[in-house]
Amino acid sequence: MNKLFPTQEIGSIGKPNWRVLGYRGVPITDEDFSEARYWGKKLKVEGYEKLLELLKSDDSHEVREGIREWSAVYAIRLQEAAGLDIVFDGEQWRTEMYEALVKEVNGFRFIGHVRSWDNKYYRKASVVEEIKWLKPVYLDEYLFTSAHTDRVVKLPFTGPYTVTDWSFNEHYQRLLSETVKDPRELRKRAYRDLLFEVSRKLIRPEIESLVASGVRWIQIDEPALSTQPGKEQVSDFVQAINEATSGFDCKFSLHVCYSSDYEALFPELLEARGISQYALEFANRDSNRTGEAKRSGYGVVKLLGELAAGKEVGLGVTDVHNDSVESPSLVRDRVLHAARLIGDPSLIYVNPDCGLRTRSWKVTFNKLVNMSRGAELAREEYNQSA
Amino acid sequence: MENYLVGLQPRTEELIRGTRDWDRKRIGDEELEELRNAAASRDFSLQLKLEYTYISDPMFYWQDLIRPFVDSLEGLDSGPQLTRWFDNNTFYRKPKINAYPNILQRKLLKYYFERLWDLGSRAKVILPAPYGLYTASDDRYFPDKRSGVLSFAQEMERVALLLEEKGVGQIEFVEPFLFFKHPDQADVELAIDAFNLTTQRLKCEVMLHFPFGNLAGHFREVLDFSASVIGIDFFSTSLSDVTDFDTKKGIGIGCLDGRNSLVEESSWVVSFARSVVEKLGDIERIAIIPNCDLEFLPRVIAEEKMKTMAEARRRLESNE
């Protein structure tokens, strides 16, 4: 982009109650109805009165679909009103990043919930037979978003490593169990087999269908990539992602978050040649004070500068796990600090650490507004000093 | 031949729904407590029915292995930072060490179900090992790592003695940090010193469990830990790397995978346990255990694995 420090979404936005209940056919409260009206007015959503009518209508398939579509329009308008340059639909049509993908393909069976942290859980599936891609999973979301915004559209979806890591691996382990007797070796080899199968048989066909329909920027979400400790695993990922992304006329960014050591991913990760941007979480590990000369957790930005990698960094400047809204000056400080470390400010994009799905719309909006203002402050300050 | 669980157990789907509803203020404390008790009853009953050697608390009050100590150790404060729990899609809040640790016994005891104490010497409790507890935290107080780890070791001794007074038969110390990545020799020695300080006055059985740890090349050092049973995660440590095991120590053969839903055949577990014995010689005490907490599995799968453990033990005992 020509603009310095472009701002972008990074993942899901919370679903409003009227969306969750309305889509289930459960009556909403007056408070939920007021919320739909409030945000419709505030975000200047054109024709939002039609949503209000839908919310008062008797339940039907058409009503539910209509509510679902309106939630995407609202999420797009929220990002636009907050000043984001690169948008998507807040993943309003998805249940959850992992589930949304694997429930649409063959080979996976959901078997129950496991804990993520505290009282947060996710539904986990087992791979019980050979994986097979059936039809485009995200194409309708992309087409809908593109039809409802003039901003740059980036389509985020879950990558092969995370699908592998977040699934139980029954099928590929069973296939190897006759020949590999040591449990450690069995687990490791079955993991690799699944990773490459997901990459070839699921992710690549999905990318192929999206690019053929006009998608020009895909964000591969790989929160699991940072969980495995070794270089061997990073090399496996590189091979898998290269198999999935090679040969397409499309920009690919990679989102990784909550790693204990991003630097351990390099330099191997640079071999994933199709990836031009790393969108990483930083706010979670940084001081919340402004005016500090040294900030913590930015070692990987410095490393990318030293390696002269020429890769963009999607800089997480907004913590998605608490309601405290970062000030524009804090965002500015973070952006300028990263720009200094990497050496080329045009490589810095500005985003939240991760999806904001666990925050209310009020907090999400305020955080994104301040994020955009902070990026603007950084632009002004950089241009003055240049 | 023995059987028992290790680590945290998975909540039932009913309890999961309950905790979500409680978070959203749809149910109150009392209703959540009922669900928690019902889930615990189910867990205790199954362990008893399967005739496990020790019956462990399912740890349904625990948000993770560390949090109860943030609550009950003065000097350890909750941090907001979510930190990944090893190579799992699970997180904990990394605590901050802001002062010398001091246990508040009353607070700690509320993390256990009362019925556990009725089991007397069949009861087992699970604690983080002192090196692990320190390593899981962000130290802002101690001048150096050694003094920090040893201070935690002293305080964890008080914790262990308190639980021993309740009559438990086994205390399991969990040490996932030391061998997750290849450790420095100084860290291994520090972990040994700390563990031996914590356990020096304990009379009950002491188990030291290394989930997620690759012990290759460290078996001589492992024997320096003053534990009577060593738990090995055989999905992280290859059997071929197990050497120099002291046959006077008991071994927990962690060969039921707490991180995969594929339920092992009991015949496979039997065969694997026999191959361990064949390699290590005439070990006096053997326990068939999961390689790690079963909480990484949905409850229904965990229960299947619990049954497989018991079946494998039966077959080994009857030499089938």
Q: What pLDDT was estimated at residue A323?
A: 95
Query: Model confidence at B281, in pLDDT bands (50, 70, 90)?
Result: confident
Given a cut of 80, whether residue B244 has pLDDT beyond it is no
Kindly determine whether residue A227 and residue B295, on different chains, have CB atoms separated by under 8 Å. Answer: no
Determine the distance in angstroms separating the CA of A151 from the nearest CA of chain B, rounded to an integer. Answer: 33
- What average pLDDT does this structure show over B64-90? 89
Residue A62 and residue A70: Cα distance in Å, rounded? 12
Residue A150 and residue B268: Cα distance in Å, rounded? 59
Amino acid of residue A207: I
Q: What pLDDT was estimated at residue A2?
A: 83
Residue spans of the domains in chain A: they are: 83-385
B89's enclosing H/E stretch is none
Given a cut of 70, whether residue B270 has pLDDT beyond it is yes
Q: What pLDDT was estimated at residue A341?
A: 96
- What average pLDDT does this structure show over B242-261? 90
| Cα–Cα distances in angstroms (integers) from residue B149 to residues B101, B178, B183, B197, in the given order | 11, 13, 16, 11
Q: What pLDDT was estimated at residue A46?
A: 97
Residue B278 and residue B270: Cα distance in Å, rounded? 12
Kindly determine whether residue A115 and residue B236, on different chains, have CB atoms separated by under 8 Å. Answer: no
Helix, strand, coil percent values for chain B (each to nearest 5): 40, 20, 40
Q: Strand (E) positions, A140-185?
A: 152-153, 155-158, 168-169
Q: What pLDDT was estimated at residue B107?
A: 92
Joined together, the tokens standing for residue A41 give 């007015």
Q: Closest to B299 (Cβ–Cβ): which among A112, A177, A183?
A: A112
Q: Closest to A187 (Cβ–Cβ): which among B64, B93, B235?
A: B235
> Phi and psi dihedrals of B105, rounded to 5?
-60, -40
B170's enclosing H/E stretch is strand B170-174
Kindly determine whether residue A117 and residue B92, on different chains, have CB atoms separated by under 8 Å. Answer: yes
**What contacts A372, CB < 8 A, 6 or more positions away?**
A7, A82, A83, A84
> A204, A244 in Cβ contact below 8 A?
yes
Residue A36 and residue A17: Cα distance in Å, rounded? 9
DSSP B112-180: S-THHHHTGGGEEEEEE-HHHHHHTSEESS-SSHHHHHHHHHHHHHHHHHHHHHTT-SEEEEE--STTT
Q: What pLDDT was estimated at residue A13?
A: 97
Determine the distance in angstroms separating the CA of A385 from the nearest CA of chain B, rounded to an integer. Answer: 34
% of chain B residues with pLDDT over 90: 88
**DSSP at A68:** H
Q: Which residues of chain A have pLDDT under 50?
A: none
Give chain B's domains with CATH numbers.
2-9+52-317 (3.20.20.210)
Residue A172 and residue A365: Cα distance in Å, rounded? 44
Joined together, the tokens standing for residue B219 give 């078996």
Q: Is A328 helix (H, G, I), strand (E, B) or coil?
A: helix
Q: Closest to B238 (Cβ–Cβ): which among A119, A182, A227?
A: A182
> B93, B79 in Cβ contact below 8 A?
yes
Given a cut of 80, whether residue B135 has pLDDT beyond it is yes
Instruction: Express each pLDDT in B180-219 by its tens digit.
Output: 988 999 999 999 999 999 999 999 999 999 999 999 999 8
> B142, B151 in Cβ contact below 8 A?
yes
> Phi and psi dihedrals of A290, rounded to 5?
-90, 165
Given a cut of 70, whether residue B38 has pLDDT beyond it is yes
% of chain B residues with pLDDT over 70: 100
Summary count for chain B: helices (H), strands (E): 11, 13
Question: Which residue of chain A has the CA closest to B233?
Answer: A184
A200 touches chain B (CB under 8 A): no
> A12, A94 in Cβ contact below 8 A?
yes
A185 touches chain B (CB under 8 A): yes
Burial pattern A225-251, b for ≥16 Cβ within 10 A else e, equals bbbbbeeebbebbbbbbbebbeebebb
Q: What pLDDT was estimated at residue A228?
A: 66
Q: What pLDDT was estimated at residue B273?
A: 95
Q: What pLDDT was estimated at residue A143?
A: 98
Residue A348 and residue A342: Cα distance in Å, rounded? 8
Mean pLDDT of chain A: 95
Q: What pLDDT was estimated at residue B105?
A: 87
> Phi and psi dihedrals of B227, rounded to 5?
-110, 145
Contacts of B13 in chain A (CB under 8 A): 112-113
**Nearest 10 degrees: CA dihedral of B91, B52, B238, B280?**
150
**A83-385 is classed CATH 3.20.20.210:** yes
Q: In angstroms, how far is CA B113 from the centroid of its own chain?
A: 17
> Which of the pair, A193 or B89, is modelled with greater confidence?
A193
Instruction: Express each pLDDT in A343-354 by its tens digit.
Output: 999 999 999 999
Kindly determine whether residue A114 and residue B297, on different chains, have CB atoms separated by under 8 Å. Answer: yes
